[in-house]
Amino acid sequence: MWNPRLLLAASMATLLLAAPSAPATMQAPALRPGEGFAITLGDGEVRAYGEARKEAPMGSLAKLLWMRLEGSEWSSRGVRYTCKGTAGSFTCWNHEGHGRVDVGKALRESCNLAFLAWIQDAHARWKTDYGEAAARARMEEVFAPFLGSRLPPGEALPPLTPAWVGDGDLLRTSPEAFLRWLMEPDKAEVVTFGKRFLASFWVEVQDLFGKEGWWFKTGTAPVPGDPSATSAWVAGGRGSALVVLHLPRGRGKQEGMTRIREILGLKD
């Protein structure tokens, strides 16, 4: 029989490993000012800490929305793209380019140009397959929770811009809201893609021995009112546990990954 006091005193990582027997309450993580953290241990409950309900531009987490909408199509077609850093009027965050990428590499490295190219192709296909009004409705079905009233009304597909892959503040969310989105049954495929494309090779090897490993999608987003600053996002999971973290300042691959590992008690 587990001792509840011992469980409450355990680290976050221990609680996650013991998720099926975790108590209804848990020790709050030690967050810094402005940080928001939300977690579910696979029991259907959401635990929100710090600024977990505060909305902010979602940055590259937007690419997970596209995986919900087009991930299966792109994976089945084996799409590829060569990122050279610029394409027409669009510029990737990596000005030197990501080189040749498939869906997995583009997701891991947050290649804006690859996603924009595939989205442009998808838009053309939707118009042919569904008609423009139905295509817009299909897109809004996935993006509506993150758009608020910021998309002008109409039946035409919106202009294709980097805002749809995380630039600017068109798409916004909070750690708790995005966690609840990931928890919805029809988003299970997004979690599957996360594990497939964002977990390391060694995680796949561990799976052969019945062990679950973490996957993380990082993101860097603008800070409204401060063009010189960026904020950081991390969304991820392990088994049935899911987490979302937002830092008011920082970059996802750097500060975001450092903080999520500290909060979860993961070794480097």
Tens digits of residue pLDDT in 34-52: 999 999 999 999 999 999 9
Q: What is the mean pLDDT of residues 253-259?
A: 95
Distances (CA, A) of 156 to 122, 123, 126, 144, 149: 15, 11, 12, 15, 16
Nearest of 236, 232, 228, 227 to residue 264 by alpha carbon: 236
Question: Which of 36 and 23 is assigned the larger pLDDT?
Answer: 36
Q: What is the pLDDT of residues 111-141, one digit of tens each?
A: 999 999 999 999 999 989 999 999 999 999 9
Least confident of 57-66, 91-100, 235-244: 91-100
Backbone angles phi, psi at 112, to 5 degrees: -60, -40
d(CA 241, CA 262): 17
Q: At 260, list the tokens.
A: 């999520």
